[in-house]
Amino acid sequence: MDIWVALSQYATVETERMILRPFSFVDSDDFFEISSNRENLPFIFPYQASQEESDFLLVHYFMKNPLGIWAIEDKSSGRMIGAIRFEHLNVSDRTAEIGYFLHRDFWGRGIMTECLKTVTFLAFHSFYLKKLSIIVHKENLASQRVAKKAGYVFKRCFKGSDRYNRKMRDYVEYGLK
């Protein structure tokens, strides 16, 4: 099956506590609450100082090409509280990197591990990917714990240029085949 058809069939997925679904402009306020807090996204992207900047980011990075990108919605409150997505999806090699973030108020509850396990299962069993990786800043210990709890194994440490400020940073890669 074509990976894009498979991704479209799983545009919405439920986990025990969350709904993984496409982003919508209805998420604008929830997204701004996350993206405007400097402490919430120190390793993801620069904080957005205005609603206009946040809306631009929401539309261009999460809504414009929606397949393989899921908003994380808390079932109990209906709030959009984070995202999980395939980055650098290579259809011919059947590989992808997974990126994610979560609203600070929901950290430490196992939510991202639950979402990562779900997307990982789908990646191998429904999208027929062969290799997944997670690359995090070396000092982002919380994301490293999430990767390990979801079964990913340490692959390497390396230096690289941060995609936003172009400064050299230390990174850690986890992988799963």
pLDDT tens string 132-157:
999 999 989 999 999 999 999 999 99
Q: What angle do CA 148, 117, 9 make, to 5 degrees?
A: 150
pLDDT above 80 for 57? yes
Cβ contact 120:102 at 8 Å? no
pLDDT above 90 for 126? yes
pLDDT above 70 for 60? yes
pLDDT above 70 for 118? yes
pLDDT above 70 for 165? no
Higher pLDDT: 37 or 58? It is 58
How much of the chain, in percent, has pLDDT values that exceed 70? 93
- One DSSP character per residue, 80-140 reads EEEEEEEEEEETTTTEEEEEEEE-GGGTTSSHHHHHHHHHHHHHHHTS--SEEEEEEETT-
Amino acid 45: pLDDT: 59
Could you tell me the pLDDT band of residue 42, with boundaries at 50, 70 and 90? low
Q: What does pTM read for this prediction?
A: 0.92
